[in-house]
């Protein structure tokens, strides 16, 4: 167990898509603050990464489990929360981080690609929020990972931005529904982040354009987003709910 003076000691966090990139960083950050972590990933390709995330969590003296599954299946969503409750007895923080980028011209997007994008970015996110609302302790925290593209017109991101746009309405609705229990629900919308998730859909030219678009002339780093997640997970963030927080170095203001 984490030391009792850690601010999240005794709390439990469920983090979807936490095998690598931002999800891993969030898991390690909340473990450092004392939380036990339910690490979620999907498939054999990310199994070793999820195990490494769990190892990094345990280095901070907190407990962890690993849950594998496709969150577009609502039975898997239920299993994720049931496994977490079975292991730790409670859920206090949920970070809805799993996502999928499809970057193509509007007219080239197939029905299968549309379904995949909305399946993970909208459907899975919705049912994770729904199950979180059923399981989360009073004064809990639900943090949905959106994108700065929600407020911008970026070429070829139509199906990704459209699927992520649903998160804002889901967030406002759920914040109203369960706010009386002290549970906050917010969207964090990063700008372009210098990690494999971002670069996988980009070209050198598009990366160069994004780099010059921020006021400091660089891409974001995962470390730029982690402090926002940490704060939203803490009791001191109680007055922030139903919001979308754009974290992008001035790439976009809304």
CA distance 222 to 57: 17
Burial readout 112-127 (b: 16 or more C-beta within 10 A, e: otherwise): eeeebbbbbbbbbbbb
Asked about 160 being catalytic, the answer comes back as yes
Number of H helices, E strands in the chain: 9, 7
Residue with structure tokens 């809805």? 96
Closest to 211 in 3D by CA, of 163, 241, 156, 250: 250
Q: How far, in Å, are 108, 162, 182, 225, 241 from residue 177 at the CA level?
A: 38, 24, 11, 27, 12
Point out the residues that are catalytic: 160
């Amino acid at each position: 167990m984490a030391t009792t003076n850690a601010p999240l000691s005794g709390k439990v966090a469920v983090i979807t898509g936490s095998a690598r990139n931002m999800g891993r960083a969030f898991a390690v950050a909340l473990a450092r603050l004392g939380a036990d972590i339910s690490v979620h990933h999907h498939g054999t390709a990310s199994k070793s990464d999820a195990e490494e995330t769990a190892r990094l969590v345990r280095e901070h003296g907190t407990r962890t489990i690993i849950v594998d599954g496709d969150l577009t299946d609502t039975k898997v969503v239920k299993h994720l929360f049931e496994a977490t409750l079975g292991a730790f007895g409670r859920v206090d923080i949920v970070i809805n981080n799993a996502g999928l980028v499809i970057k193509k011209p509007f007219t080239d997007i197939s029905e299968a690609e549309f379904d995949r994008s909305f399946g993970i970015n909208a459907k899975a996110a919705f049912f994770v929020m729904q199950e979180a609302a059923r399981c989360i302790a009073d004064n809990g925290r639900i943090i949905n990972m959106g994108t700065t593209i929600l407020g911008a017109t970026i070429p070829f991101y139509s199906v990704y931005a459209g699927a992520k746009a649903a998160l804002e309405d889901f967030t406002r609705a759920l914040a109203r529904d369960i706010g009386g229990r002290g549970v906050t629900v917010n969207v964090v919308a990063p700008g372009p982040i210098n990690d494999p998730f971002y670069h996988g859909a980009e070209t050198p030219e598009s990366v160069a354009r994004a780099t010059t678009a921020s006021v400091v002339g660089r891409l974001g780093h995962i470390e730029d987003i982690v402090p926002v997640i940490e704060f939203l997970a803490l009791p001191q963030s109680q007055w922030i709910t139903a919001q979308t927080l754009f974290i992008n170095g001035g790439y976009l203001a809304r």
